[in-house]
Amino acid sequence: MLKELDGFRALAVTLVVLFHAGFYTKAIPGFNEVIGTGYLGVQIFFILSSLLLSRQNLLYYPQTVNKKQYTLTFFKKRLLRIVPLYLISSIVLAAFSYKSIDFSFWKIIQYVLFIKDDLHVNVVIWSLFVEVRFYILLPVLMGVLFSLQKHKVTIFLVPVLVILYSYWYRYTQLSLPYNKEISERLYSSLSANVDCLGWGMIIAILYERYKALLFKPATITAIATLLLVLIFGLMYVQYHKVYPPLVRIVTPLNNICWSALILMVMLGKTTIFNKILSAKAAVYVSMLSYSIYLWHLPIRTYIVEVLQQLLTGNSAKYIVVLQLILTLGLSLLVSALSYRFIEKPFLNKKSA
């Protein structure tokens, strides 16, 4: 696997954690604008997931004789990747907050099967529900893609239609009187996020088509830098709400820019971006990213509650900084243990 993608995954989880930690400072120019859009980190996760799975299908599905067995193995590996930690973390968190959870047999069944989250054990779980729907949708889309390819129809048609559908959905929702329900749809529904699936497919197709070409590192670096500037500009607009009409389309535009940036870095091979994103620290955080994603917010909530009881009066001003340090440190520790004793055993089964 391309190590640069580990770096992007590490960046994504870092954005989410810092956003939930609620740490802001004017001492670092642009820091608030970047951290103030934690949803962006989830979008990067979605794009990376689609990219890796689409590339796997492009490489192996056409040569596979038993297509049915390939698809079943695909689902088995995906479920072994996310379900064990999902269920174990949910049980642990539910045990700590059972008094505030409205349990019922049907709600538990819906939760376990990724149908609906009415338990609200962990705020970040919504993205796993979208991810599982990606797993169901992707093999279907790839099957259509390969079928069209046999009939000499461009394989870009499938992901482009997926992206256009998502943008149409966003447009129709934004055309309605804005309320909490519409806000939730735009944030956590499959339709609002499925453009990430399409962009991941496009990156995979383009990379396989052009990976053998040698691009000048200076050219790739310049394009990647320009894309980062554009991304920061979009986040600045969103954070400060500079131009309200543009705020409405920031997420789709960000996804386009991040997709282009990921592709450029993949094709760059030897640029400064590749070296930074392939660093050992980035690869390590990437390895723990799933555990970090599921554990960090409950850990942060608990830490804040304890600090608010311990630090009062003038000492209360240190809570923000302390909770950030403790959240980062404890999240890494818990996630390292979680990876070792929960994720890794099932990952070994997945690769068996």
| Domain limits, the chain | 3-351
pLDDT of 352 strictly over 70: no
pLDDT of 27 strictly over 60: no
Say what the pLDDT of residue 37 is: 66
Confidence label for 335 from pLDDT (cuts 50, 70 and 90): very high
Confidence label for 214 from pLDDT (cuts 50, 70 and 90): confident
Residues whose CB is less than 8 angstroms from the CB of residue 5 and which lie 6 or more positions away in sequence, other chains included: 48, 51, 52, 262, 266, 277, 286
Say what the pLDDT of residue 51 is: 97
pLDDT in tens, 263-318: 999 999 889 999 999 999 999 999 999 999 999 999 999 998 899 888 887 877 78
Q: What are the C-alpha distances in Å from 107 to residues 13, 89, 118?
A: 28, 17, 6
Q: Per residue, what are the HEC states of the chain?
A: CCHHHHHHHHHHHHHHHHHHHCCCCCCCCCHHHHHCCCHHHHHHHHHHHHHHHHHHHHHHCCCCCCHHHHHHHHHHHHHHHHHHHHHHHHHHHHHHCHHHCCCCHHHHHHHHCCCCCCCCCCHHHHHHHHHHHHHHHHHHHHHHHHHHHHCCCCCCHHHHHHHHHHHHHHHHHHCCCCCHHHHHHHHHCHHHHHHHHHHHHHHHHHHHHHCCCCCCHHHHHHHHHHHHHHHHHHHHHHHHCCCHHHHCCHHHHHHHHHHHHHHHHHHHCCCHHHHHHCCHHHHHHHHHHHHHHHHHHHHHHHHHHHHHHHCCHHHHHHHHHHHHHHHHHHHHHHHHHHHHHHHHHHHHHHHC
pTM over 0.95: no
pLDDT of 10 strictly over 60: yes
Say what the pLDDT of residue 345 is: 92
Say what the pLDDT of residue 331 is: 96
pLDDT in tens, 73-127: 899 999 999 999 999 999 999 998 877 788 888 999 999 999 999 989 999 999 9
Say what the pLDDT of residue 315 is: 79
Confidence label for 23 from pLDDT (cuts 50, 70 and 90): low
Say what the pLDDT of residue 351 is: 64
Residues 205-219: what's their mean pLDDT?
92
Confidence label for 1 from pLDDT (cuts 50, 70 and 90): low
pLDDT of 166 strictly over 80: yes
- The mean predicted confidence, pLDDT, of the chain is 90
Written as six digits, the tokens of 115 are 């149908």
In this structure, the number of other CB atoms found within 10 A of the CB of residue 322 comes to 15
